Chain A
Amino acid sequence: MRPALIGLATVAFAGMAFAQTGNAIPRGVDGKPDFSGIWQSLSGADYGLEPHGSSADGPPGVGIVTGDTIPYKPEALKQRAKNFAARATADPRTKCFTLGTPRGLYGSEPIQLLQRPRDLTVMYEFGHPVRTIHTNGTEHPEGHIDLWLGDSRGHWDGDTLVVDVTDFNGEAWLDRVGDFSSDELHLVERWNFVDRNTIRYRATFEDPKTYTKPWAIELLLYRRLEPNVQLIENYCALQEFEKYYPVPTLKSER
């Protein structure tokens, strides 16, 4: 190639690179995709993972279950019906308990992802708990631990973060209408960018105690772009008790 053409090609390449900057996915110091930011699902999945019509429980939705139907075992289907009947008080959300994994990702409040090469931290506004997805080559601890959010160990498959989640306590629900899994749940998540402001989240559920076969969900997480957006601690479980703790004042002493 002659020098003039090389120069032209360089300019053209630089122009392409510049043009792509706006849409290029963010990457961390380790070159991996960087999911840091505040995100929220608009899937409406918390109102029901499966397709559902409008009801007093919430708006209609096409659901996020691949194939539309969760393959419950017969006994588990009865349990879901019991959950549904008791949902007003039995849903852990109504008690402000931690929503669990994956439900915490598609609740009604945003999440914040904080990323380092060694881990991805998921901070939930609702209840303000933290889930750590370890990406430092560590493995699940020996034995079974009862955790609301599970034990998460991830690795990168190209630009996709693949996360193996075990050690659930089996107490979290999957939505407001009683869908659930047990402490034997084995969740495999796949996180990847669609573009710099959209994450595709897929998860496969294996739980032989509850389901007849593995099944999957897929949803998108959208980056919250409001200039003043921030996660605000929501220790929702304390709301009913806050009235007992008025800060003493001089007036209260008189």
Chain B
Amino acid sequence: MRINSETRRLLPLLFPAMLLVMAPALSAQGMRGWRETAFQPTAAGEWTGPKLPDGQPDIAGHWSNTVGNHNNLTDPQGPLGDDDEAPPRQGGQRPPREPRPRASRAPSRISDPADGSWPAQPWAKLKQQEFLKFLNNPIKPEYVEPFALCAPGGPSKSFMWHGYEIRQYPGYVVFLFDSGNRVIHLDNPRHLPANIKLWNGDSRGHWVGNALVVDTANNNSKARLGRTGEFVSENATIQERFIFDPKGERFTYEATYTDPTVLTRPFTITIPNRRVTDKTPADDWNNETFPAKHAGSDPVIEIWERVCVEGNGNHGQVVVSGK
């Protein structure tokens, strides 16, 4: 679906109609290759795997989270979440259903506090509930999830979406996502001036053993943390750690958000990730790579251009009244 300039002008008026148009395409979305219900976080420690000439651990390649999409931050495979066992959509929406037992689905992506909840101030929780209430019936433009407009997912939500590629260079680690790209600067710890606000923030990192430690500021904080509507303010700072298994097969993403404007205390998001290889089944989600054509016999995989500036993103449909 492409949106021309006239449609873009009318876009705020057309959101509900767009959702109906998009529903069939969404229903055709295939099964995820990976939908783990439990995982063991990678421990921080020494890096014993291969290194690049500049000394960085060599973790370049294709990766994807193993849990599911961004439908529900705190119960990713739960009743509002990303679950292939959900009943078929009716009129573009999935009806509420009885969830599987909590113990048989992935834990909250919020690992701290221990109860997995988003530690927001009462007013902020009301705003989150308001966003969720209108997600499938966005009577105002502010209820349309920015992803629908091809916005980047933001620092953490980008790891709740399709598979992505990591490329490394002296001074940089670069993430190429399905929606937007993110550059981690390794050679200069100084952030951009504070008045510059960015969808993916300004990221400054360094390696400690097997962990890429990143400090992210300058967030415009317009991307929610899940379709369930959780958010932080522009004042938030994020400390991220990408902790890589020295075998290069998995890494754990941890992000600690500090934001007295919205939160009652800091919280940490934890997301397991796994390497996509030529042996990973293609599922148009975790693995969106293609085998490259070449004369040799060794398998080479690559992603093709991911340009989403013509407004052809889709919104997604989730139930909003599950238990």
Contacts and interface: CB of A to CB of B under 8 A. Distances in A.
A129 B174 CA distance: 12
A138 B127 contact: no
Contact of A149 (B180, B199, B307): B307
A97 B285 CA distance: 24
Given A95-B8, A148-B305, A137 B167 contact: no
Interface in B95-148: 121, 123-124, 126-127, 140-142, 144, 146
A212 interface: no
Interface in B217-265: 220-222, 231, 233-234, 261
Given A29-B53, A89-B5, A114 B169 contact: yes
Contacts of A97: 309-310
A238 interface: yes
Contact of B305 (A115, A147, A241): A147
Interface core residue of B121, B295, B309 (most chain A CB under 10 Å): B309
B183 interface: yes
A250 B123 contact: yes
A115 B54 CA distance: 13
Nearest to B311: A237
A103 interface: no
Nearest to A234: B198
18 contacts: A95-B5, A114-B167, A115-B169, A123-B174, A130-B181, A132-B302, A136-B292, A138-B302, A139-B295, A142-B293, A147-B307, A148-B305, A232-B192, A232-B198, A235-B150, A235-B151, A238-B150, A248-B127
A174 B231 CA distance: 40
Contacts of B305: 129-132, 147-149, 151
Q: SS class of chain A's interface: helix, strand, loop or mixed?
A: loop
B232 to A, nearest CB: 8
A244 B141 contact: yes
B210 interface: no
A115 B180 CA distance: 20
Interface residues of B, number: 59
Nearest to A123: B181
B167 to A, nearest CB: 6
A121 B121 contact: no
Interface string A134-160: 101111111001011101000000000
B205 interface: no
Q: How large is the interface on A (under 10, 10 to 19, 20 to 34, 35 or more residues)?
A: 35 or more
Interface in A185-240: 230-233, 235, 237-238, 240
Given A130-B176, A242-B222, A248-B231, A233 B169 contact: no
B169 A238 contact: no
B296 interface: yes
A139 B293 contact: yes
Given A136-B300, A148-B305, A232-B196, A253 B146 contact: no
Contacts of A139: 292-295
B183 to A, nearest CB: 7
A40 interface: no
Given A116-B168, A244-B144, 19 more contacts: A94-B5, A95-B309, A127-B309, A129-B305, A145-B304, A147-B305, A147-B307, A231-B183, A232-B198, A233-B198, A233-B199, A237-B309, A241-B151, A245-B146, A246-B142, A249-B233, A250-B123, A250-B261, A253-B126
Contacts of B304: 141, 145, 147, 151
A36 interface: yes
Interface of A: 29, 36, 89, 94-98, 114-116, 121, 123, 127-132, 134, 136-142, 145, 147-149, 151, 230-233, 235, 237-238, 240-242, 244-250, 252-254
A144 B224 CA distance: 37
Q: Which 4 A-B pairs have the closest CB atoms?
A: A244-B141, A248-B127, A245-B222, A253-B123
B290 interface: yes
B197 to A, nearest CB: 9
B185 interface: yes
Given A96-B309, A116-B167, A127-B309, A241 B192 contact: no
Given A98-B307, A98-B309, A252-B127, A244 B293 contact: no
Given A137-B294, A138-B293, A140-B293, A121 B144 contact: no
B314 interface: no
Nearest to A142: B293
Contacts of B127: 248, 252-253
Nearest to A94: B5
Contacts of A36: 169-170
